[in-house]
Chain A
Amino acid sequence: MSDTRRAAGDPEMTTYRDVQLSPDFSELRRRFRRFVFPMTGLFLAWYFLYVLLADYAPGFMSTKIGGNINIALLLGLGQFVSTFAITLLYVRWADQKFDPDAKHLRDQIEGETQ
């Protein structure tokens, strides 16, 4: 449908369409997806695995490591640590990788619309 508007000479639509079709834009979106979706899947799997271990491997989970500390406790605390680590990782990635790439795209668009 955008093509008909493009043919009719709607300049705004053409810019949007061009940006969406541009390799830089798809690359930006692809990068974001390639980082964010696996990350999300990974940490969900990690939580779900913990529940499964508690159900099917109670022997392993209650292995004492020293004093009152067992593997389940360590893994449980590890989840807090990993959640926070993932957040920091994302923030760093967004600041250092994603934002500069996005800025590059911005310069390109603004160059075109002027």
Chain B
Amino acid sequence: MSPAMSLTAIGLVVAATIGIGLFGLRISRTTSDFYVASRAVTPRWNASAISGEYLSAASFLGVAGLVLVNGADMLWFSVGYTVGYLMLLVLIAAPLRRSGAYTLPDFAETRFESAPVRKICSCLVFGIGTLYLLPQLRGAGLALQTVTGAPTEVGAAVVAIIVVINVAAGGMRSITFVQAFQYWLKLTALATPIFVILIAWRSGDHPVGVLESLQGAGAEWAEPLSRAGGRDHPVYATYSLLLALCFGTMGLPHVLVRFYTNPDGRAARRTTVVVLALLGVFYLFPPVYAVLGRSFAPDLIGAGADTVVLELPGRIFPGTAGDLLGALVAAGAFAAFLSTSSGLTVAIAGVIDQDLLRNRLHRLTGGDYLAVNSFRIAALLAVAVPYLAFNLTGALSLADTVGLAFAVAASTFCPLLVLGIWWRKMSTVGAAAGLIVGGVAAITAVLVNVIGPPQGGWPKALIGQPAAWTMPLAFITVIVVSKLTPHKIPRGTARSMVRLHTPEAVDVDRGLSPLT
């Protein structure tokens, strides 16, 4: 692989990202611009931006790596990532928009009228965001290492710095344009090498012995639920993964905030349809890389499977053609790291700014500061913490780390949102208990995975894919505790329910209700 060409391509992506960010700077002036682009982005732009933001290092590099090692079962990652959007759309997108809350903590506060519940939500947003940012930084490190041989800290630092500058400078408006551009870049970068390979294969001037590698000793890899790669209890693991991805998407901070950038509920639905199509097209390609990888890069199965997408073009086409394709893929990978990290950073920074920073700054400076500056400091914090964590933690595969972030979201925000929107008898204590029990269970599983997972059997399966037990645990906790504390049902439940379930055009008060 030619470092010069790949570095040039990465440089161009970075330049374009910052360039569009600066262009956005001129139009984003108010706080509302920063958070949700003043709610005026058309469905097509928005769908490209949502897809651009959602397709992270885990999708671009991680899925292919997991399929390469563990075989067909890992295809459920791409199915789950996509179906999560459908769940979000039908179950909660419309009511949540109507609640008038910008963030998950906002929703918790309006619905449950409780500052402690809000604080728990803020901490969870920060935790889930950090867990999701971690693999983005790790992916960036791996990509730069593959291209230049630099240590992984360098790539991670590059992405961290660019994201902070971009978010602090432009906010959401410029992010929308940046991400829409990055979706198309990612799709092009992933698809082009595949088409070139297919053309070479059909014209017969290049030996592509793919099918041979799937027969004989390697055949088990292509079988579903085959335990290839040493994953025990495949049915449990698959169910748990599907649950985490289907119900976790609704609890991801950067995904939710995106639904507010639509002008109305109708546009939000249109946007989701386009998003599903865009994601579906994208996910056709990672499995192809994995299958080709079985033939052309079998050495990566042992270690470094996450780099298969980056390595493959150079292995199949040694020489200039491979260099060019490799540079394109590296550029696409950086687009993936940058777009997801930017979106996450905007969302997490929003929460840090509102819940942790602004009041303190206000006290420190005696009110002599701009709201936007607080947001900028929050953006710096939002990236600095995962960067430190990245330097401390070991090598969990990209898609697995992201899968765990989904599991935490599914065990905390999913019960809060689904029951909070649909169940009138949910009490404030029940909400808090569900968040704490689900959160502690899922985060414990994450930590065990990071520090040193069990070696095999049920313990490994249960800890590796915790959602199938942590999510029901959280739901049951909310329901039981709410039944036990009926006197703690929020006073404004009737009002919240009307607000959540009547269409937006109705002139009910959607402003944040002050704490009573």
Seen from chain A, the residues whose Cβ lies within 8 Å of a Cβ on chain B are 1-2, 12-13, 16-17, 19-20, 25, 28-29, 32-33, 36, 39-40, 43-44, 47-48, 51-52, 54-55, 58, 61, 72, 79-80, 83-84, 86-88, 90-91, 94-95, 99, 102-103, 105-106, 109-110, 113
Contacts and interface: CB of A to CB of B under 8 A. Distances in A.
Contacts of B270: 91
B83 A106 contact: no
Contacts of A54: 224-225
A32 B265 CA distance: 15
A44 B246 contact: yes
B82 A106 contact: no
A32 B501 contact: yes
A51 to B, nearest CB: 5
Interface string B246-285: 1000000000000000000010011011001100100000
Contacts of B224: 51, 54-55, 58, 61, 72
Instruction: Name the prevailing secondary structure of the A interface residues.
Output: helix
B503 A87 contact: no
Nearest to A28: B501
Contacts of A84: 276-277, 280
Contacts of A12: 509
Contact of B505 (A17, A40, A94, A106): A106
Nearest to A102: B503
Given A16-B495, A25-B498, A95-B266, A55 B89 contact: no
Contacts of B276: 83-84, 87
Instruction: Name the prevailing secondary structure of the B interface residues.
Output: helix
Interface string B79-114: 100110011011100100000000000000000000
Contacts of B29: none
B83 A83 contact: yes
Contact of B239 (A48, A87, A91, A99): A48
B82 A103 contact: no
Contacts of B498: 16, 19-20, 25
A54 B71 CA distance: 14
Interface in B493-516: 494-495, 497-498, 501-503, 505-509
B491 interface: yes
B505 A52 contact: no
B183 to A, nearest CB: 18
9 contacts: A16-B495, A16-B498, A40-B90, A43-B83, A51-B76, A51-B225, A87-B86, A90-B89, A105-B502
Contacts of A48: 239, 242
Nearest to B243: A44
B458 interface: no
| Residue from B91, B246, B508 with most neighbouring chain A CB atoms (10 Å) | B508
B422 interface: yes
Given A84-B280, A94-B94, 17 more contacts: A13-B495, A16-B508, A20-B494, A25-B502, A40-B87, A47-B79, A51-B235, A54-B224, A55-B234, A72-B224, A84-B276, A91-B270, A94-B269, A99-B503, A106-B505, A110-B507, A113-B507
5 shortest A-B CB distances, which residue pairs?
A102-B503, A54-B224, A106-B506, A16-B495, A20-B494
B213 interface: no
Nearest to A13: B495
| Residue from B86, B91, B507 with most neighbouring chain A CB atoms (10 Å) | B86
A12 B76 CA distance: 49
Contacts, number: 104
B243 to A, nearest CB: 9
A97 B516 CA distance: 37
B273 A87 contact: yes
A16 to B, nearest CB: 4
A50 to B, nearest CB: 9
Contacts of B82: 83
Given A47-B242, A95-B266, A106 B273 contact: no
A2 to B, nearest CB: 5
B38 interface: no
B238 interface: yes
Contact of B225 (A55, A94, A106): A55
B111 to A, nearest CB: 14
Contact of A36 (B90, B238, B239, B242): B90
A86 B86 contact: yes
B247 to A, nearest CB: 10
Contacts of B280: 80, 83-84
B86 A1 contact: no
A47 B235 CA distance: 12
Contacts of B506: 102, 105-106, 109-110
Contacts of A39: 90
A36 B91 contact: yes
B503 A16 contact: no
A5 to B, nearest CB: 8
Given A87-B272, A91-B269, A29 B501 contact: yes
B152 to A, nearest CB: 35
A91 B273 contact: yes
A80 B494 CA distance: 39
Contacts of A29: 501
A53 B385 CA distance: 44
Contacts of B509: 12
A25 B506 CA distance: 13
Contacts of A91: 269-270, 272-273
A103 B235 contact: no
B502 A55 contact: no
B239 A109 contact: no
